[in-house]
Structure 1
Amino acid sequence: MQPTDPVSTTDVRMRGFTQRAEVPAALAWIDAHTPCLAGEPVATEDATGRVLVQDLVAPIAVPEFDRAAMDGYALRGGETTGAGDYNPLEFAVVGQAFPGRPFEGAVPAGSAVRIMTGAPVPAGLDAVLPAEYAREEHGRVAVAQPVAPGQHVGRVGEDIARGSQALAAGRRLRAQDAGLVASLGLAQVQVLRQPRVRLLVTGNEVRAPGQAKGPHEIYDANSVTLRGLVARDGGLLESHLRLGDDPERIAQALAAPGADVVLVSGGSSVGAEDHAPRLLARLGELAIHGIAMRPSSPAGMGRIGAALVFLLPGNPVSCLCAYDFFAGRAIRRLGGRPDGWPYPRVQAVLARKIVSQVGRVDYVRVKLGADGVEPIALSGASVLSSTVRADGFVVVPAESEGHGAGSEVTVHLYECP
């Protein structure tokens, strides 16, 4: 007996799927093959949105000196005891302090220094009286309100103590986080490398937007959708190729080095020109092909070397759904981001029932109305406008036959994160 050809056993063209993997099995495969990528240094000014490799320990204190928190007069708080509107106390003004230009001399008892916000508090002084509570004339300032020692003074390390953990490993840096890194004097910070993503579009009928096309050809919407989703999830587009249905070109693009994740749009189902699954099986590992879900049942995934390959159906809604369930999760995990969907969620009540089938996960586009959640009636996998009209989607788990009217459901909202 001849050994079985592994490619022939995975070639479902014009045969159909004999079985489909369950969604949890596909997610488990992804989670088992997506360790965080290595770290790299980036300029602090470019660090927003990136993920820290390790705890960031403050090399300096912020501030490194006692500084004024108000414009006014620096003095000894204890010397203002008893000051009031009917008993103003007078202090000699012996100088002034500005940010970056401190008052250098000694301050005698009963004296004050004019000071601006952010300026170093002179040695021996411990409080700042706001300007609105003082009146200066002829080199003397009248103080009409007492000020406690330490009041309106930012102490050394009040913001960040030297040697403390300023930011924790795994944190995705927001703009203010990157600003904090800069406040520590760090020009670079170690962050996880962004996953490099290759986008391959198949189909002889597919044309780039702006190109002339024939009456039976279509414009490539999936590329634009996927590019936006990859950027949202922290991926870095390595290349973007439209390959038609030429198996040799597809094979070369699949096997080329340089990508952490390869997304193949189209050619994942059982048609005669759906070459990607058998090519993936020949070049590497076709781990899963065919998933018990609607839409996106022809989706698949595998590996070529260290690169993960995701087969995304050509129908636009199926492509979006398969990316969100599987490829997006992988990209987020590789880049150190949370693997869950980056969509805001709300709880809402169904106005009309959602019908599903036990054993299959359903991705249902919905609108939020005054009467509750309405499933969109026209919801075919090729109708991209259904996702535009929708406010979000509801996921019906495989163990459910759907949700009846009046049921509370979780709606994932199509909003920019």
Structure 2
Amino acid sequence: MNTVRVEEAIGMVLAHDLTKIVPGEFKGAAYKKGHVIRQEDIQELKSMGKNHINILELPIGMIHENEAAMKIANAAVGSGIFLKGPSEGKVELKAKHRGLLKVDVAALNQINEIEELVIATIHTNTLVEEGQSLAAARIIPLVIKEEKILQVEEIGKSYGKGIITVHELRPMKIGLIITGTEVYEGRIKDGFAPVMKEKIKHYGCSLLDIQYCPDDRKIIEDNIYTMIEMGADIVLACGGMSVDADDVTPQAIRNASEHVVSYGIPILPGNMLMLAYKGSAAIIGIPGAVMFLKNTSLDILLPRILAGEKLTRKDVTAYCHGGLCWSCKACTYPMCPYGK
């Protein structure tokens, strides 16, 4: 510990708490041990009667918590993220824009295996909003060996594009096909279109076209082809996804696609969803649950597709762990375990 004039203490670290007293109003620590003195602190310190302060002298090869937290955060940060802090030894990673959070979990685990430091995130593949807090980094003691921070930085470099990133959702063109003879003939009112139009808008996409089809495999198939020829990035074929005799949408999707990823997925509600591709265009069979429930399998998979991912069967089957919705009375999705 060393004593210096406050004017000379800028950038140095306080060795202990500094108490401020305002008679009848406040008594407590105005500056805590470990605080790094800033230019703007000087006048306040003097008003507290602190013309000299005790400074913590960092041994060679040791880093203060604020600097260490910033280095950890910088090692992990990727595109679409900004840093806030350090504040009381912590640096937050926040979203620059709305998008899909991607976390390299293997790299995250590797960093946290280094003792005396932590970085914690929310779940990967979460749809996040601008300004939302995504992760926080800090060390456990007040100071840490520089070699440990260098290890973190090496891990960050080895993963190239960032361990934690936010991918913007692309404003894709979506073709909407509503199936069902009873709807096509006007026997019942269509429940899909209003819901799907709102969902398409919510995800920042545009509705390319909407077509109504009877339960005829060939007609549905031809409409899928037409939507793709018109430039649809995604075709949503709604209804007719169960095992009923009249439900022919899955076979139409199978015939129109080049590759079926999965028919039926381990996410409830919405387990009858079908995902296929023709070229770069995604074809999604939408089950009836989407009409009645705010968040289903579609809301878990669609943001990933809009973020530019071409999903595989392995991506889909991984939801067997975490794919069950609790159906909470007050829904907090996506900030809940569903689809994580």
TM-score by structure 1 length? 0.34
Q: Please identify the structure whose Cα radius of gyration is greater.
A: 1
TM-score by structure 2 length? 0.42
Pick 1 or 2: higher relative contact order, CA cutoff 8 A, min separation 6: 1
Flag the structure with higher helix content. Answer: 2
